[in-house]
Structure 1
Amino acid sequence: MRMWKTLIWYGGLLLLLITTTTTQGGRRELEARQHWWDLAQNELAAALNVRQNWNVAKNVIMFLGDGMGITANTAARIYKGQKEGRNGEEGYLTWERFPNAALLKTYNVDKQVPDSAATATAYLCGVKANYYTLGLDPEVMLGDCAASRNSIYHTPSILTWAQEAGMDTGIVTTTRVTHATPAATYAHSAHRNWECDGNLGEKGVGCMDIADQLVSENPGKNIKVILGGGRQVFGAGLGSVDNDTCIRTDGRDLTKEWLEDKTNSGHTGRYVTNTGELHSVDLEDTDYLLGLFADSHTSFEVDRLVGPSGAPSLKEMALKALKFLQEKNNGFFLLVEGGRIDHALHDNLPRRALEETVVLDNTVAAVLKEVDLEDTMVVVTADHSHVMTINGYPDRGNDILGITGDISKIDGLPYTTLMFTNGPGYNYAIEGDKVVRQDPRDANVKHMDYRSQAAVPAYPLSETHGGEDVAIWAVGPMSHLFHRTHEQHYVAHAMAYSACIGPSADNCERPAHASFTKDRAPPKPTTTHPTILLHGLRKPKSGPAGAAKPKFPTLSSILQDLLDDNEQKIMTALGTESVRSYSIASDLQKLLGRRSAPSRRMV
């Protein structure tokens, strides 16, 4: 009886989707008082049960939603639920069920509202930087080529630290692999737009372009797996020239140079350009993998050509990269960027942005199924926000892409829930001495290419970033280091401490009160990994040979022992929209997929 009472209490951790009835108007019924009481008690039980994982991370995976600020995250949560037929507000994106979360201050050294290059330098290199600069400390100003060539100002990234520790590394992105976010892992450039030699101009004379750095310099040429877009900046475009993307003028094909470098160094390299080629890669016989699936950025997911001759999805790329790195078994750092969220928001296209965010959500969920959270730190965050807002007083369950239902008392017109403070969606006209805006009822506001109204006019793709804090969610070893409002550059230092690399290579001693997870002893120092100080720690007792390693370290040890083959069920439950408390043992039996009570007794 004691065991079942405990299981019933902790049963609230295992979230189930509650089927609700639909009213005549099509909206879902709203919850009653008991639901909210049970929800709070279940959440409290979960919070009281969280424990800290002090393991040393063998692997670190960072997911970056470019431009995925708090507003975009909230809107995507609602959009995800509504796509599945629910009200949406009560749901969760996968990372929102991680045990640890914090806020990050995103300003640049010289800007109140940041750009993606300087923010990437912060969270990947551990140093705040100037606007539009990559991998350089604040001594280097935008466009200062001469200063950027001085290695004393270079800021190595966590990817560099991982390689120095003998770990494998990878980057996956839906943007060009030379774009701001991925470039900060390997490049040092006084201007983020110096992606190829054609963009260097007079100010960049004497500096190496970003694509060249990826192929020719450390740590770029030592990255084991690189998947994304950007064939044109490599001099290997397969279509017509894109004048909005950097064009190589030196006649070099960097993909061929990349392959030649791998061959000359005694390794096997594989270069692929479509989904079919990516899936055909033999991981056991490939040392390095480069995949460029578009001349510029890869397509938005809703436009993506599906099939062998098309481009892989973010999820396909991430899973391939993950399996590639796991195959080597050296431990790894992997950066996965959902980069086109940002591009849609720059164009005031909310539906495209939300679709891309849901794609990132699906990717995170898929990767979580393939990793052991006992030895893998997973972080999800954004680099900056945008100026999209959720406004008005729409009813619960109202389409997040729809009209609020409110009418302006000034012009007598309604407005959409999602709007922007600036951008190309301004769409105003002058009638006499009045400024008149479009009536959103005359447009298909749910269309993929509908531009939400904006207050200040701007050219297409010119909506600005927002300067508010962004969120970060974390799970796995040392994820509790994210726990309040942090400066953005703290992220790199926390990830490095988790894996005992870079600035923490000789300073990651766990305190005496640190706890290690079941069957996971502190790693022993090796010749390829920096010495790990473990003074004052007791090695945990080893479990039985072949024992399964738990993937959900925030659950109680009691529930952890009962999970076994139900991990997928729990993972699915973590993202559902409603919870209930469990009052009888049969509820929990059904939840765990068991027909009878477990025979083991609680100890």
Structure 2
Amino acid sequence: MESNAKAEPTKVSPLRLNTVRIFSLASALLLSMIVTVMCIGFLMSYEVATEVSSIEDIPYWKDKLPPEQQLWYDEAIEELQLALKRDLHKQLAENAIIFVTSGIDTETMAAARALLANQTKPQPALSWERFPHLGRLKNSCSNTELCDPFTVASAIFNGVRSNFRVGGLDSGVLFRDCAAAANISHHVKSLVEQAQEIRLRTGFVTTRRVTGANMAALYARTPNTAWECDAALPLAASAAGCIDVAQQLIKSATGRNVNVIMGGGRQTLVSNVPNTVWDPVDETTCNSQDKRNIISDWQLLNVKLKRDFAVLLNSDDLRELNGTKVDYVMGIFANNNLQLKNEVDARRRRVPQLSAMIMKSLNVLKRKNNRYLLVVESGVESTASVDKQMSTLLQLNDVVQQTLEKTSGSKTLVLVLFTNGKYVRNAVESSAETDVTPNVIDFGNEENTPIEQRLSNVATEAVVYAKGPRSYLLHGVHEETYMSYVLSYALQMGHFKPNSNTEQRHR
């Protein structure tokens, strides 16, 4: 029998219906949240990118101004662009180059800048004044009437402040104390020694003596910074085991392992050097008398060690040097300090220019699988004329710029340090053996001397310009010892050397 009944519709459970609705609503809310977050992120990214990377896209900064205002406006916009695009270079450094200049202060820099300017343009920045970071280093002798350059350099390069006229040693060693100086517990590692420990190639180039204060602080230890060569070293000190600074170039492990040594100072390394009009012996500086020839001794040492090396005597030797073929170079180009390029004697003496020495040094130091540390010194005596200071500074400006063009900005930390611009009462710029004691200046006592005069006799503090990896660590006022730790950290050496179980990496 045929049924006329209609099929009943399928009933949907109320619980299932509510679950579907809840799921749909939740999905819609989640999707809305994702879209919102993406939009916010896009807007924030656009704002940051617009502010930092596309300054020229902002109409306000394209304003046209009268010519008298446009010059300064464009100059300011250029500096803003550099500031907003600044890269902090948080990765560690592979290499480091340190320029050290003594005898010149910030006032001389301002004068040099003015010489490069004219009335229609802003004063051009010197090459290091474009560096993104600037620090000031307190002077260890800022409150004394006397200041020893070697002791100051030792604090900067070794990271520990020693006693007055003591270098490369901590404060446990007193002046002339050879017994304490022989105690290795008082020895402080210089930046060069730290670099050699982790197999960095090392070198130093100077327009002054290679045994002078700033360079000696890189490889020598002495309880009397006046003992630059044998003529200044008393027999009693020699008998007590002290070694003069010049001998430490070949007798200390650090000195004999330096890859590049270039500068003046032949009279401290070789006895009885010829005294000529175009290459005079400086009688105020240590002049060797013990029949030594440390240049020949250095040459024989490298023959014995089977090293590829070169000895250079003049600019012709330097020009012919193929730095990629040798691993060790000693170039001694004058009895005392090197002459500047604008001095007549330089042509007769065939003295190389600082820029040429640096370029050749980089050829020696740069190797595919090696990092390097190079220290470059220029400067003048504290009593030098303004013209000589200016010539030195303008030469340095060119040299720094040329060096930057030959190095990788992302791998090389570059520092330009101006240290102790004034030694008004300088104790030992020469290596004379004198008994002097630093007296602390009482700034509160104005009975006999006006405070202005007292301040004028204080050696200026150091200023350091920094560029490259970790350069931002030099950012304010620091102890002068701080710079050594910045370099050690940036290069991962010394106290910051990775453990043997730790993989060395650049962050």
Q: TM-score, normalised by structure 2?
A: 0.75
3-state SS of 1:32 partner: helix
**Separation in structure 1 between the aligned mates of residue 230 and residue 289 of structure 2, nearest angstrom:** 6
* Structure-1 residue corresponding to 2:486: 494
Would the alpha carbon gap of residues 466 and 319 (structure 1) be closer, same or farther in structure 2, given more than 3 Å must change?
Answer: farther
1:359 maps to a residue whose letter is Q
**1:78 maps onto 2:99 in alignment:** no
Q: Distance in 1 between matches of 2:291 and 2:230?
A: 10
1:346 aligns with 2:338: no
Which residue of 126, 129, 140 maps to 1:96? 129
CA contact (8 A) 1:107 1:467 kept: no
Q: Hey, what does 2:225 align to over in structure 1?
A: 192
Match 1:171 to one of 204, 209, 212: 204
Q: Which segments of 5 or more consecutive residues in structure 2 lack a partner in the other structure?
A: 1-46, 59-66, 276-280, 426-451
Give the aligned residue type for 2:408: D
Which one-letter code corresponds to 1:315 in the other structure?
Answer: S
> 1:532 is matched with which residue: 489, 504, 507?
504
2:144–2:458 CA contact under 8 A, matched in 1: no
Deviation at 1:143, TM superposition (A): 2.9
C-alpha displacement at 1:39, in angstroms?
3.2
Can you list the C-alpha shifts for 1:67-109, whole angstroms capped at 9, x where unaligned? 2322222222223x15xx5689722110000011111111249
Residues in 2 aligned to 1:155 and 1:118: alpha-carbon distance in whole angstroms: 13
Matches of residues 2-81 of structure 1 in structure 2 within 5 Å?
9=55, 32-79=68-115, 81=116
In structure 2, which of residues 396, 405, 408 is the aligned counterpart of residue 369 of structure 1?
405
Secondary structure at the aligned position of 1:381 is classed as strand
Unaligned runs of at least 5 residues, structure 1: 13-30, 389-419, 421-454, 457-463, 508-524, 538-603
Quote the sequence identity (%): 29
Helix, strand or coil: the match of 1:315? Answer: helix
Q: State whether structure 2 residue 466 is matched by structure 1 residue 474.
A: yes
Deviation at 1:215, TM superposition (A): 1.4
Q: CA RMSD in A?
A: 3.3
Secondary structure in 2 matching 1:160: helix
Q: Is the 8 A contact 1:134 1:180 kept in 2?
A: no
Please, which of 271, 280, 285 is the counterpart of residue 325 of structure 2? 285
Tell me, in whole angstroms, the C-alpha distance in 2 between the residues paired with 1:87 and 1:142.
56
Q: CA separation of 1:332/1:533 partners in 2, compared to 1, >3 Å: closer, same or farther? A: closer
1:255 aligned onto 2:295: yes
CA distance in structure 2 between the aligned counterparts of 1:278 and 1:327, rounded to whole angstroms: 19
AA in 2 matched with 1:208: I
Structure 2 residue matching 1:101: 3-state secondary structure: strand
Contact map agreement 2:323 2:360 (CA 8 A) in 1: no
Deviation string 1:490-529 (CA, Å, 9 cap, x unpaired) is: 001001111111111138xxxxxxxxxxxxxxxxx9x9xx
Q: Which moved more, 1:126-135 or 1:198-207?
A: 198-207
Alpha carbons of 1:482 and 1:273: their partners in 2 closer, same or farther (altered >3 Å)? same
1:162–1:90 Cα change, 3 Å: same
State the match for 1:118 in structure 2.
151
| 1:212 is the counterpart of 2:257 | no
Of stretches 266-275 and 229-238 in structure 1, the one that deviates more from structure 2 is 229-238
What SS does the corresponding residue of 1:204 show, helix, strand or coil? helix
* In 2, Cα distance between equivalents of 1:130 and 1:211: 21
Indicate conservation of the 8 Å contact 2:142/2:459, yes or no.
no
Structure 1: distance between partners of 2:205 and 2:331: 9
Q: CA shift at 1:187, angstroms?
A: 0.2
Q: Which residue of structure 2 lines up, in the alignment, with residue 415 of structure 1?
A: none
Determine if contact 1:109/1:131 at 8 Å carries over to the other structure.
no
For normalisation by structure 1, the TM-score amounts to 0.64
- Return closer, same or farther for 1:465/1:62 CA change in 2, 3 Å cut-off: farther
SS for the counterpart of 1:302 is: coil
CA radius of gyration, larger in: 2
Alpha-carbon spacing, 1:4–1:170, altered in 2? closer, same or farther (3 Å): same
Matches within 5 A, 1:131-530: 131-201=164-234, 204-205=237-238, 206=240, 207-235=242-270, 238-240=273-275, 241-303=281-343, 305=345, 310-327=350-367, 329-340=369-380, 343=381, 345-347=382-384, 349-386=385-422, 466-506=458-498
Deviations 1:531-576 (A, max 9, x none): 4367xx6xxxxxxxxxxxxxxxxxxxxxxxxxxxxxxxxxxxxxxx
Q: 1:130 aligns with which of 163, 172, 180?
A: 163
The equivalent of 1:577 in structure 2 is none
Structure 1 residue 113: Cα displacement: 6.0
Q: Shift in Å at residue 33 of structure 1? A: 3.8
- Label 1:118 to 1:284 Cα distance change in 2 as closer, same or farther (>3 A): same
For the 8 Å contact 1:304–1:311, the answer to whether it is kept is no
Deviations 1:447-497 (A, max 9, x none): xxxxxxxx99xxxxxxx9743333211111100101111111100100111
Give the drift of 1:38. Answer: 3.9
Matches of 2:396 and 2:85 in 1, distance apart? Answer: 28
Residues 532 and 111 from structure 1, CA distance in 2 versus in 1: closer, same or farther, beyond 3 angstroms?
farther
- Cα 1:255–1:11 change in 2 (3 A) is farther
Q: Name which of structure 1's ranges 41-50 and 166-175 shifts more when overlaid on structure 2.
A: 41-50
| Alpha-carbon distance between aligned partners in 2 of 1:387 and 1:89, rounded to the nearest angstrom | 32
Q: 1:87 to 1:271 in 2, by over 3 A?
A: farther
Range 58-67 or range 465-474, more displaced: 465-474
Amino acid at match of 1:222: N
CA deviation vs aligned residue, 1:220-265 (integer Å, no higher than 9, x gap): 0000010000111111564214322212222121111100100101
Q: After TM superposition, give the deviation of residue 190 of structure 1 in Å.
A: 1.7
Query: In 1, Cα distance between the equivalents of 2:483 and 2:194?
Result: 14
Cα displacement (A) at 1:157 = 0.6
Cα distance change, pair 303–154 in 1 and its aligned pair in 2 (3 A):
same
- Number of positions where the alignment pairs a residue of Structure 1 with one of Structure 2: 420
Alpha-carbon distance in 2 for matches of 1:273, 1:90 = 40
Distance (whole Å) between structure 2 residues aligned to residue 49 and residue 113 of structure 1 = 44
1:154, CA displacement in angstroms? 1.6
What is the alpha-carbon distance in structure 2 between the residues aligned to residue 272 and residue 10 of structure 1? Answer: 52
Q: Distance in 1 between matches of 2:113 and 2:165?
A: 30
Letter in 2 for 1:218: A
